[in-house]
Structure 1
């Protein structure tokens, strides 16, 4: 099997929907990955082992003209699986990187609304930080995985760090600027807060998803719609978030009579040449790929300082 995934299946932008590829590493658990991150599905081939490699990494393969790492998803999730020579390779691309995940099987693609995706509860605390959300489909539960978190676990340097923002310096004029940030991962909220404070931004309001952030904006509108900049001067949003994703959140802002003047920066792992048009269609002022927080700060300066 060697299947190129058709790109652009979900053509509309800002519909608050996504397509999820169902996959697994045993017969019990169903996991999911956003189809926007998947480039290809292929049969496994022999990998080239690496000396002193991370335990999650099986090795390297050559896929046409590229050398790509292969990550064993079962090991990354701490689940047993011994069938190294079987299964499926899922070729992914996000954060401007291509990585292969070795899984046991892939199944169908589900089109779902972010409103249907629930935040992980305490029953999934053993996977804390590795889940974006939970999807209930008839007789099964699909766990939507945070694949970026897996990569950061393997190599922390590919994540958001203070070192990335230090070259931008800290500017006093940033301290009074009011920033609204929608990000579902508590780990990333903490990292973004620490790095933006390092850069001099002090007035930061964080929200767990687009719906929570939108509700806050509506409260501001009802209270003092003529003085919006007293409360928020710029919006930063992730894309993948339960209840309301960042594209739909951005679309709502840009279609609103008052909020449309707010600069919106999409800060997401899903910024690539093939997906950038989605942010453009909903009116985002800028799109920055994680973890380039130094570029995020530079863009914030350009839009509001």
Structure 2
């Protein structure tokens, strides 16, 4: 089968497409013909050897592919050949086929395309766990989403609104504000303002009734984290998802004590491994909200499998407009 192949960890451009042996479905597994896999920033960490969980080489990168079941392994029930599914695979999505534990597969809603499923994968489940599990969101909460026009950011804006929250969207430039508003944000916080340490809090207070926000979703880190921490309300919760800015911030814990606030982290792949029942709950709610018209996947463009390196570099360089989805079997 055709696949992106990582033989040795290194720069994105050093990896090329080639041929790997076709996988087969063992007991408890399903074989999937992959139709779509999103290109995610985290894939760049995997192929360069910077991710916390690294596969044995050679391997095909790519998380959470969507496709059609081609064969069932011994003992598999609840699925049939031809079913359209999303697979919660940690790698192997940049390929034409994959064999996955059937328990890690979820049937797609009838109206959801493979491209939509792939573009929603990883970002919506990450956002769901950040909001539902780590931040314990309640209807009526106020939520500040940093990096609101990235994949996780847009998903967090939509999910927070669907869960009954007031949403402030943090944007790096005014040009990105319409995208966040289209996703359902109630107002905008401009992260490009000078003296962000003070200006972020001033904007939040001005747009949230003179008080801080209950929840901050942060995939950025760096200066935005430092400023957002000061914009939390009493008993507020800040969820750390990543450090797209490049700087990993530090916290003076006396500040947490004085304001009774929480800083918590999210590594969503741990939930796939440790709490599959909660992951199933997550996918059920996401699919139900999609079918109810409350979630709309971000725009995406498709690329052939052999263009994976260029696509991944675009994502890393923040040149991508919306999501990029690979089509291994167009």
Which TM-score band applies after superposition, normalised by the shorter structure?
0.3 to 0.5
TM-score by length of structure 2 reads 0.34
TM-score by length of structure 1 reads 0.36
Which structure features the higher share of strand residues? 1
